[in-house]
Amino acid sequence: MREAPSKRGGGGGNYPDIRLLLETTSRKLPVVIEVKGIEGKLVKLNAEGKVDNITAKGEQNYSNIEGYAVNGAVHYAKAIVDHTESYDEVIAIGLNGYMEATELFMEYGVYYVSASNFCIPKRVGDYSDLSFLAPENFDEFIKRVDSLKLTPEEREAQSRKIEEKIETSLKSLNQWMQDDLGIPVGSRVELITGMIMAGLGVSGKVYPLEIPELRGQTGQSTNDGKVIINKISDFLTELDLPQEKRDMIVNDLSRVFMNSILYTPHNGESKFKTIYARVKEEILPFFTPTHHLDFTGRLFNVLNEWVDIPDSDKNDVVLTPRYVTTMMAKLAKVDRKSYVWDYAAGSAGFLISSMNLMIADANAHIKSPNELKRKITEIKMKQLLGIEKRSDIYLLAVLNMILMGDGSTNILHKDSLTDYSGNYEQGGERNKPFPANVFLLNPPYSAAGKGFIFVKKALDRMLTGRAAILIQENAGSGNGLPYTKELLQNNTLVASIHMADIFKGKAGVQTAVYVFEVGKAHDSKHIVKFIDMSNDGYSRQNRKKSGLDVNLRDTGNANERYQEAVDLVNYGKAYLKHFTEAEYIEDTITLEGNDWTFSHHKKIDTTPSEADFMKVVGDYLAWEVGQILRGENNA
């Protein structure tokens, strides 16, 4: 409670009026109660009827937090969720009492705040006293609490808000490092990644790096860069990462943090300290249990927006947007039983989207809290595997998965085409085959077959399951040969989706998503589903200094269209609603591997209509009259 800003936004800590730690048959929950004694001071709601603790600019509304009972209690509850590892759910209660004449009036606002709900407070119900907290009533109260889940629409809206805040902060930080500090773009990924690791800490073992610890000394073992590296090393050690992985990460980061230009003080302060102060204030608050997003993927794309690199290289490093990784995981039917791998993992965006779907499925089907906890640990530690060749992006993938709580056990720094055997390489399952039944990939398009060589390599190691591949579309019209033809010998093409310009401003390629059923040869009579998602509901711009709210706007039922694409592929034409008949085609393909694109199967009606006839006649008469007026026709 001392780590979070106080109700007034300062550093004085937090101290709720009444504090309880209540126990049910399955878990313990903190209860915080804030008390007011003035009429009208129970709760301040916004226009949507939600607790109004956030301003229109996305900042904490400390006036409401301090002034209203429920708003203050919710503030305390969020502090507990954000700043502890032991508690990810809290009951927040506002209690207000006031006198009218000689009569005392009491009112109660009861809300549930949890990490699984992104810390959005959900109202539990109407109460006229606190007897629902009594031991004989508390289990029944918790049953009601457990029914308070965010709708998919609320969850997506909150994810977008968080992403917008993240991107705005990252863009501002990146521009500042470029303009004011002159930090080379090649060093920025390592700088921010390392500082985040140093600033996270490990509860009870490694304290987060504090700004005063960076004293501006220049000794080999006392300079600010060395201080940060030592903190990173302790952080990685306490996470039980394998020694070789720790050594590789520390060695890679040392190239930046042992740079004397950055640790030498100017006016008593090194550039490391200047940057870390801003990272701690603007970036680290996003790293809480409530934000299960591909943060580092967004970091990498933001940093790369400021450099011009050849298209061939740029295409290889652009990371897939979350709304696409989520759609592809759904196309692959990811659930709690899935074993998911990615042979060009990037920042692990596909693995994070898969993990979220797997945990959601586990929550929906497993009712025992102990069994659910065991399953979630198994998902994170055993059911996700990613391989990344580039060291800078590998660091991002490791950081991403550490933030998700899996310790990055199965994130490998290798060339998946030449160095990977198909086995677990760390942990208790080491040297055993990874039993993959889902393959998700956005490959480097400069690789053989436009990247389809990766697909062939992975699918040859799988017995059953599904694969969803985001790739340059013309790989399916002949440029992916011979791999596309060979794939059909043991796998069935389920769907081909022509994508919108999802990499606008980052890569000038037309992409498609190809979906496969693994382990079953393609039958030439099999019906393949073709979808044109040119209009995916999003309007896009490429303004470097603008955030998601400008560069990516939902102007045409984007969420519904992406879900509809999943339903069409997985369940059929009955789910056609937002897409037109012309945008959804069912057709067969040959076994040659060169007719997979939507355009190959687009139906063009060549039967002339009356309007076509009238237009031709009109064009002819206009031409003839024109000749007469110019004296070219003597008829």
Backbone angles phi and psi of 95, in degrees to 5: -125, 125
pLDDT value for 313? 41
Structural domain for 186, as ranges: 154-286
Last residue of a domain, one of 131, 149, 167: 149
Provide the token pair at 559: 């969420």
| Residues 223 and 100 reside in one and the same domain | no
| Residues 430 and 559 reside in one and the same domain | yes
Task: Return the SS3 of 596.
Answer: coil
**Cβ–Cβ < 8 Å for 69, 41:** yes
| Residues 87 and 169 reside in one and the same domain | no
| Residues 410 and 528 reside in one and the same domain | yes
Provide the token pair at 428: 């208790």
Domain-located, residue 253: yes
| Residues 468 and 371 reside in one and the same domain | yes
pLDDT value for 568? 97
Task: Return the SS3 of 424.
Answer: coil
| Residues 68 and 35 reside in one and the same domain | yes
Task: Write the pLDDT tens digit of every residue in 277-304.
Answer: 999 888 887 776 555 555 666 666 665 5
Q: How far apart are CA 594 and CA 596, in angstroms?
A: 6
Query: Closest Cα partner for 395 from 261, 607, 251, 606?
Result: 251
| Residues 195 and 279 reside in one and the same domain | yes
| Residues 164 and 112 reside in one and the same domain | no
Helix and strand counts by DSSP (H, E) for the chain: 21, 16
Q: How far apart are CA 196 and CA 190, in angstroms?
A: 10
Residue length, the chain? 635
Task: Write the pLDDT tens digit of every residue in 5-41.
Answer: 888 777 777 889 999 999 887 688 999 999 999 999 9
Q: What is the pTM of this model?
A: 0.72
| Residues 141 and 195 reside in one and the same domain | no
| Residues 460 and 491 reside in one and the same domain | yes
Backbone angles phi and psi of 545, in degrees to 5: -90, 0
Domain-located, residue 49: yes
Q: How far apart are CA 79 and CA 149, in angstroms?
A: 20
Domain-located, residue 2: no
Local structure of residue 45 (DSSP, 8 states): B
Task: Write the pLDDT tens digit of every residue in 202-216.
Answer: 877 888 999 999 999
pLDDT value for 329? 97
> Within the chain, which residues score under 70 in pLDDT?
26, 288-318, 404-409, 505-506, 543-550, 605-606, 633-635
| Residues 239 and 258 reside in one and the same domain | yes
Domain-located, residue 588: yes
pLDDT value for 426? 79
Whichever domain contains 343, its CATH number is: 3.40.50.150
Task: Write the pLDDT tens digit of every residue in 207-241.
Answer: 899 999 999 999 989 999 999 999 999 988 887 77
Provide the token pair at 158: 């909150």
pLDDT value for 206? 87
Query: Closest Cα partner for 398 from 255, 510, 296?
Result: 296
pLDDT value for 549? 60
Q: How many alpha carbons fall within 13 Å on the CB side of residue 207?
A: 6
Q: How far apart are CA 547 and CA 561, in angstroms?
A: 23
**Following CA atoms 302, 303, 307, 308 in sequence, which dihedral angle do they give, to the nearest 10 degrees?**
-50
- Per-residue burial over 455-464, b = 16 or more CB atoms within 10 Å of its CB, e = otherwise: bbbbbebbee
Please state the domain count of the chain: 4
| Residues 137 and 163 reside in one and the same domain | no
Local structure of residue 524 (DSSP, 8 states): T
